[in-house]
Amino acid sequence: MIIPPRDTGISGWQAILPEKPEFPVLQEQITADWVIVGAGWAGLAAARRLLYYHPKDRIVILDACAIASSPAGRNSGFMVDLPHDLSSGEYGGAGLAQDRITIAQNRAAIVFAREAIEEFSLPKNTMLDIGKINAAASPEGIKHNRDFAEHLDQLNEPYENYSAEDMRRITGSDYYQSGLFNPGCTLVQPAQYIQGLAKALQAQCAIYQNSPVLDYRQESGKTWRIQTPKGTVSAGKVILAVNGQLQRFGFYSGHLMHVFTYAAMTETFDTARLEGEATWGLNAAHPMGTSVRRYADRIIIRNRFTYDARLEVSEARLNHTAKRIRKHFEARFPTLHDTRFEYLWAGRLCLAKNGAQIIEELWPSLYAACCQNGLGTTRGTFAGMALIDGLMNANMPYLATISKTKPNRLPPEPLASLGANTLLNYRHWRAGKE
Ligand SMILES: Cc1cc2nc3c(=O)[nH]c(=O)nc-3n(C[C@H](O)[C@H](O)[C@H](O)COP(=O)(O)OP(=O)(O)OC[C@H]3O[C@@H](n4cnc5c(N)ncnc54)[C@H](O)[C@@H]3O)c2cc1C
């Protein structure tokens, strides 16, 4: 049996949505041309692309969780266009040629999301084209920004340097010494995007939530039979868009790094208590540091990475990490010292040691769009769209740029966990105030 994913804590992004559209649970036996497992960034992108090529095909999407409650709706919503390699501990550095390819792919994904928002008339604040700032709070951070700026110069990519005063004017916080502004990043309300896209696609395909796939097998060499707790789907083709859960479907075990990160969203606060602009997004200058967003009258703060090969983390771990997040929050926003965290959550990332993605046919008529390397808003969207464009032999220039490299093998457990957590702790220590 495939163990369903378990998410710890409640995503604030999903909790604050004014509307929660109903999605049914699969409770019958149905047939389809395609089954997409996973209604996240990759799965929904694949569905929209499929509908473009084959509007009459019967498409079924199954998700184990409530729509937008999984990592799809619990991330920080930075759709980053520039290289952003979490596994390497620094931004960029894969080489100029590869970085240019990555940027073009990420930008194709951002255009995809923007067009979907327009096509389906999602609320304007679903995506804010306001760029991001790599914020530096220490000499280490300033050095990271300087190195990254040099890299961007070589790539001929635009950026702006911000002073401490600029940072204070934007964020209302004295914490930061400088910043590097990247205009091409766009900020998304992740749960609003995922929920809105799923709701819009519902007009053309059947979407089931709280319907985890527990078993799947190919019958008579042609049809796949997908089993959920209360129903089954028989389909000709299956797309696994489940990110790191792919190993529970029997693929790439021992190759995928299951990393968790942790976030908090404050209760609403009186905006007079924090000067600065109403919306902005900061990534730490050091990739292991703290990212922060202001979303009108709330702050969302994300901190810390842990490696958990069991693919889930406990409430105790989340509560323990919350204390650390609180410290980072109060250091940045002393005027909000008594503002509570209303929501607290953890979420899964899936990384490959070599940064490879899995966009491929795993088995005849079984496909995958997985392993987004911690940047699933863009990389997941790209994986979903590129998988389908490839299957349809579309004339898309980016198809020729998809790497055939596979995620490389990790050391056996417990060595992989020990090694990864030691490295993460070291990098957290290096990130210091960042
Ligand atoms: C706190 C946090 C902050 C983050 N910030 C950012 C950010 O700012 N920018 C960014 O790009 N990325 C960020 N990420 C990472 C991002 O959320 C992921 O990379 C992204 O969600 C991956 O997209 P995906 O579609 O591949 O997978 P997911 O979004 O995880 O979607 C996969 C879906 O598959 C479903 N599923 C799994 N197993 C089964 C099963 N057995 N049956 C049915 N359904 C199943 C899951 O429920 C899930 O909905 C962050 C993550 C976290 C946790």
Task: Give me the mean pLDDT over the 82-92 stretch.
Answer: 70
Residue 221 clears pLDDT 90, i.e. is over it: no
Contact 262, 304 (CB under 8 A): yes
Query: pLDDT grade, residue 244 (50/70/90)?
Result: very high
pLDDT at position 87: 60
With a 6 Å cutoff on the Cβ, whether 243 touches ligand 1 is yes
Which run of H or of E encompasses 419? helix 415-431
Contact 243, 230 (CB under 8 A): no
Task: Give me the mean pLDDT over the 239-262 stretch.
Answer: 97
Q: How far does the centroid of ligand 1 lie from the alpha carbon of residue 221, in Å?
A: 31
pLDDT at position 248: 98
Contact 376, 70 (CB under 8 A): no
Q: How far does the centroid of ligand 1 lie from the alpha carbon of residue 369, in Å?
A: 12
What percent of the chain stands above pLDDT 70? 98
Phi, psi (degrees; rounded to nearest 5) at 260? -110, 145
Indicate the domain borders of the chain: 12-431
CA distance 183 to 186: 8
Residue 158 clears pLDDT 90, i.e. is over it: yes
**Candidate CATH numbers 3.20.20.70, 3.50.50.60, 3.30.70.370, 2.60.34.10; the one for domain 12-431:** 3.50.50.60
Q: Angle of helix 41-53 relative to helix 190-201, nearest 10 degrees?
A: 30
CA angle 148, 154, 156 (to 5 degrees): 100
What percent of the chain stands above pLDDT 90? 86
pLDDT at position 34: 98
Residue nearest to atom 10 of ligand 1 (CA): 375
The backbone region for 220, taken as left when phi is positive above 0, alpha when psi lies in -120 to 50, beta otherwise, is left
Burial (0-12, 13-18, 19+ Cβ within 10 Å), 342: middle
21: preceding bond cis by omega (within 30 degrees): no
Q: How far does the centroid of ligand 1 lie from the alpha carbon of residue 20, in Å?
A: 19
Query: pLDDT grade, residue 90 (50/70/90)?
Result: low
Contact 29, 6 (CB under 8 A): no
CA distance 57 to 114: 25
Probe target for ligand 1 pocket from 372, 379, 382, 387, with the most ligand atoms within 8 Å of CB: 372
DSSP 318-356: HHHHHHHHHHHHHHH-GGGTTPPEEEEEEEEEEE-TT--
With a 6 Å cutoff on the Cβ, whether 141 touches ligand 1 is no
380-425: pLDDT as tens digits:
999 999 999 999 999 988 899 998 899 999 988 888 888 787 777 7
Residue 152 clears pLDDT 80, i.e. is over it: yes
Atom of ligand 1 nearest to the CA of 190: 17
Type of residue at 336 = L
Phi, psi (degrees; rounded to nearest 5) at 33? -80, -40
With a 6 Å cutoff on the Cβ, whether 23 touches ligand 1 is no
Predicted model pTM: 0.96
User: What 8-state DSSP symbol labels residue 209?
Assistant: S
